[in-house]
């Protein structure tokens, strides 16, 4: 049986792998500076942001939020991405 800490570690590893895979793909399709963003300065446990979340991939002219989940939560993810856009001074997502 796995502990909560072990599951957390496995999920972080899975997420980091997905982010590296997306960065590799973006480099292959014309974004040579794409790389996994290593970001600090967030108060995720409380939901309070110390600064705007720049996304999971750096070196591209748009915000990328990588998800590797068994269950799709598209509405929630789009809301998060829209908030990230606004916090970074970018236009929000256009539903139309």
Q: Tokens standing for 26?
A: 């973006």
> What pLDDT, on the 0 to 100 scale, is given for residue 43?
52
Task: List beta partners, residue 12.
Answer: none
Pairing of β 57-58 and β 35-36 = antiparallel
- Interval 4-14 mean pLDDT: 83
Name which residue leads in pLDDT, 93 or 86.
Answer: 86
pLDDT digits (tens, 9 = 90+) for 30-82: 999 999 988 665 555 445 555 677 889 999 988 899 999 889 999 999 888 88
Q: Burial of 45 by CB count in 10 Å (0-12 exposed, 13-18 middle, 19+ buried)?
A: exposed
Q: Which of 4-8, 29-33, 45-49, 87-91 has the highest mean pLDDT?
A: 29-33
- Interval 4-18 mean pLDDT: 86
Residue 3 Cα distances to 11, 56, 70, 76, 93, angstroms: 12, 27, 19, 27, 38
Name which residue leads in pLDDT, 1 or 62.
Answer: 62
Please report, in angstroms and rounded to a whole number, the separation of the first and last CA atoms in the chain: 47
Residue owning tokens 């991939």: 57
pLDDT higher than threshold 60 for residue 14: yes
> What pLDDT, on the 0 to 100 scale, is given for residue 46?
44
**Residue ranges with strand state E in the chain:** 35-36, 42-43, 48-49, 57-58
């Amino acid at each position: 049986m796995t502990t909560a800490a072990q599951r957390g570690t496995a999920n972080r590893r899975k997420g980091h792998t997905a982010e590296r895979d997306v960065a590799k793909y973006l480099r292959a399709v014309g974004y040579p500076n794409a790389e996994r963003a290593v970001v600090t300065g967030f108060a995720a446990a409380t939901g309070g942001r110390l600064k705007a979340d720049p996304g999971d991939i750096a070196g591209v002219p748009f915000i990328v939020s990588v998800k590797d989940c068994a269950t799709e939560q598209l509405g929630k993810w789009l809301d998060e991405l829209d908030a990230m856009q606004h916090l970074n001074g970018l236009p929000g997502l256009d539903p139309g």
